[in-house]
Structure 1
Amino acid sequence: MNPLDALNETAFLLERELAPGFKVKAFRRAAAVVAEWTPDELAARASDGRLKATKGIGSRTFEIITQALAGRVPDYLAGLRERTTTTLPGEVATLREQLLGDLHAHSDWSDGTTDIPSMVAAARFLGHRYLALTDHSPNLTVANGLSPERLEEELDVVAELNESDATGPDFTLLAGIEVDILEDGSLDQEKALLDRLDVVVASVHSKLRADSATMTKRMLAAIDDPRTDVLGHCTGRLVEGTRGTRPPSEFDAAAVFAACAANGVAVEINSRPERQDPPDDLIRLALDTGCLFSIDSDAHAPGHLSFIDLGAARAVAAGVPPERIVTTWNLPRLLDWTARR
C-alpha cells in the first residue's frame, strides 16, 4: 500500500469518527512530511533509520509507513476500517448514490482543520462531482470568519484550482460562504461579494435563545434576501458531542418554511452527528410545506464529508423524495437554481 495513502486514509477515518484533533493532526503532519519525498527516498530513509528520527514522524505513523512499504495494509488502518465501515440499508444506499455533492464545508481559511486541496481530494475520493467551500463570514470571529478582503483572496484560490485542473476531471469546487444571519436579518458580507458566489448558506450563530417572534422575523428577512440559497442548521440545536447539548431555537417554523418554499430556498439537512438539524418533525413539516432540501456535511475536516451518509438516512426516514434534494441535481441544474433570483 502507498504509505501516503495509508496516512491520509487513517486521518480521514479518525475524522469520520470524531477522534480528538491532536490524534488526527499526528497523521496529517506525517502525511505532509512523507509527501515531500519520492517513493525511493522514503524507502531509503525507512531502511537506514533516518525516518524514525524525522520530526513529525511518531511511533504509530512510523509503524504505518513501514508496514505499507512492506506491501501490506497497516494493522492500525485495518482496525479502523473494520470499526468504521458500515453498510447502508437499501433505500439509504440508493439515495447516497444519487447525491452528487455537498454545499456546506469549511477549510483552514476559517475554522476547518485542513487546506482547501485536502478538502477537494476527500470530496473526489467520496465520488462527489462538486463541493461548495463555505467558510464563515466576518461576524463569527471565534471561527476566524473571512473579511471581505480575505474572501476575495479565497475566491482567487478557488478560481485557480478550477482553472488549473488541480481539482481533477469531472469535479468543480464551488465558491461559497456560510454567512451569518445578523440580528436584523441581514447577511454578514458585502452584497457585491455575495453576488459573485455560487452558493450562499445563511445560518444563525448568535442570540439563539431569542424569543420566537424575534427569531422568526430575523430568519424571514434572511430568507427574503435574493442571495440566500440554503437555510443552514435552522434550529441551532446540539444533541451530543464535546460542546454539550443545546435546545433548538424557537421560531414559527410554518412561516419560515413557507418563506423558504416561496423563495426557492433549500432547508439544510445538516448531517453532523452533534446537530442532526432540523429535528425529524421539522423535516416533515418542511416537506409538507413544499420546501427543497440540501443534504450537507458541514464538514470541518476531510473525514467529516462522509457525514452525508447520516443525512441521507434521515431524509429517507422522513420520506423526502430525491428530486426535492438539490444535492442530487447535476451541476448545470444546481447553478441555474442558485442564480434563480
Structure 2
Amino acid sequence: MTGLTPSAALREYAFWLERELADTYRVRAFREAAEVADGLAAYPETEAGWRALRGFGPKTAAIAAAATAGRLPEALQKRREAGAISLDPAGDDLRSQLRGDLHIHTTWSDGGSPLAEMVAVGQALGHEYMAITDHSPRLKVARGLTRERLVAQWDEIAEVQADATMRILRGIEVDILAEGALDQADDLLDQLDIVTASVHSDLNADSATMTRRMVGAVSNPHTTVLGHPTGRKLRADATWRGQSSFDAELVFAACAMFGVAVEINSRPERKDPPLDLLLLAKEAGCLFSIDSDAHAPGQLDFLVYGAARAVEAGIEPERIITTWPVDRLLEHAKRHAS
C-alpha cells in the first residue's frame, strides 16, 4: 500500500508536468481531476468508474484507480524516476544552501494554483520561507491586485500560515512605472515583507529612459529585489525577445548603493540577467536573489537553474539573500524603515 490518495497522485503528476514546462491545458486536466477527487464521499472502485466522472480521461482515471487500489501508478513512477535527475547538477550544491524564494505567483494574479497549494509544495521542497509576490494593479492582463485584493490576500496568508511549517511572507511583484515610481501605495508597501520591482511595459524604451526608471525604483526605500532586469524571454520559435537597453553599470551601482538585490531569475525561458550582466553586477558589489518566478507548483523546483547560473558567475553564497535566515532577510528588507 502506498498511502497515496487519488488526489495526491494526480497533483504529484501535475507537479512533474509543470517542472518540465508542459502545456498549461495538460497540467490543468490533472489538477482539475484532483479537485473532483477531493470532493468525493467515496472513491470509485474501478478505472471505468473514474472515467464516468466529470473531468476524467484515460490517463487521469488510470492514475486515480491505481492509487485507490493502493498501488503506485505506473505513469507516476516513471515521472518520479525522471524527476530524480537534477534539472541542472551544476547548481545542486548551491541549491541546497537556498532557504527561500522571493518571487512566486498564485491564482490571485496570473499563477495557476492557489496560495495554499504553492505553500504546501514549497514546504515539501524544503523551503524555510517564501514570498507571495502577485502582480500590482497596473498589470491588468495578469489580474494585478488592487488595493482591496492585496489586503484580502493578507487574510488568506494568515489563514494558511496557521497550519504551515514555513514562513509565508507578504510580498508583491510591483510594476516600475514610467518615471520610476512603484505601482502601489506607500502605506501598503510599508506593510509588505518583500517588494520585487520589475519592468513589464515599454521594454523597448531608449536607454536613458529605461535607466532613469530602474534607478528610480532601486532608490525607492521599499524595494527589496530588482526583478528580471533585462526583460528578455525565449519565444515559442526559440528566438529571444530582445533585452531592454539601459546603463547597466549605473543601475547595478545603484543596486549596490541602496542594498537592492539583483534577481537571478531561474525560469529557463528567461535566464535573466545573462552572464555578462551577472558578472557586471558581481563586480559592482551587488547582492543577489535566486528566485523561481514560479507560476505553478512544479516550477518552484526551477531554483536549481538560477543556482547553476550563480555558480557559473562565481557569486559567493553569502551575497545571495535567499541563502540568509528569514530574520536576517527581513531585517535587511526593512533597512530603510524609520
- Range into which the TM-score falls when normalised by the shorter chain: over 0.9
> d(CA) in 1 for partners of 2:208 and 2:78?
51
Q: 2:180 aligns with which of 185, 190, 207?
A: 185
Which amino acid letter does the alignment assign opposite residue 185 of structure 2?
Answer: E
Structure 1 window deviating more from structure 2 (225-234 vs 70-79): it is 70-79
Is residue 16 from structure 1 mapped to residue 19 from structure 2 by the alignment? Answer: yes
> d(CA) in 1 for partners of 2:21 and 2:48?
33
TM-score (ref. length: structure 2): 0.94
Alignment correspondent of 1:118 = 117
SS at match of 1:248: coil
> d(CA) in 1 for partners of 2:48 and 2:234?
47
Which amino acid letter does the alignment assign opposite residue 242 of structure 2?
Answer: P
Cα pair 2:47 2:62 within 8 Å, conserved: no
Note the C-alpha offset of 1:72.
2.8
Alignment correspondent of 1:287 = 282
Cα pair 2:206 2:246 within 8 Å, conserved: yes
Aligned alpha-carbon RMSD (Å): 1.7
> d(CA) in 1 for partners of 2:37 and 2:322?
35
Which amino acid letter does the alignment assign opposite residue 172 of structure 1?
Answer: R
Is residue 59 from structure 1 mapped to residue 71 from structure 2 by the alignment? Answer: no
Cα pair 1:133 1:173 within 8 Å, conserved: yes
Cα pair 2:138 2:144 within 8 Å, conserved: yes
> d(CA) in 2 for partners of 1:232 and 1:52?
44
> d(CA) in 1 for partners of 2:47 and 2:160?
38
Cα pair 1:239 1:276 within 8 Å, conserved: no
Note the C-alpha offset of 1:128.
0.4
Alignment correspondent of 2:9 = 6
TM-score (ref. length: structure 1): 0.94
Alignment correspondent of 2:28 = 25
> d(CA) in 2 for partners of 1:88 and 1:19?
15
How do 1:139-150 and structure 2 match up within 5 A? 139-150=138-149
> d(CA) in 1 for partners of 2:89 and 2:238?
33
Unaligned runs of 5+ in 1: none
Cα pair 2:50 2:64 within 8 Å, conserved: no
Note the C-alpha offset of 1:307.
0.6
> d(CA) in 2 for partners of 1:91 and 1:126?
18
Q: Deviations over 1:254-298 (max 9, x none)?
A: 000000001000000000011000000111111111100000000
> d(CA) in 1 for partners of 2:148 and 2:114?
18
Which amino acid letter does the alignment assign opposite residue 112 of structure 1?
Answer: G
Structure 1 window deviating more from structure 2 (241-250 vs 54-63): it is 241-250
Is residue 216 from structure 1 mapped to residue 211 from structure 2 by the alignment? Answer: yes
Is residue 34 from structure 1 mapped to residue 37 from structure 2 by the alignment? Answer: yes
Q: Deviations over 1:154-208 (max 9, x none)?
A: 112112222x22x2x2x01110000000011000001100110000000000000
Note the C-alpha offset of 1:58.
1.7
Which amino acid letter does the alignment assign opposite residue 159 of structure 2?
Answer: E
Unaligned runs of 5+ in 2: none
How do 1:146-165 and structure 2 match up within 5 A? 146-162=145-161, 164-165=162-163
Which amino acid letter does the alignment assign opposite residue 7 of structure 2?
Answer: L
Which amino acid letter does the alignment assign opposite residue 218 of structure 1?
Answer: R
> d(CA) in 1 for partners of 2:89 and 2:83?
19
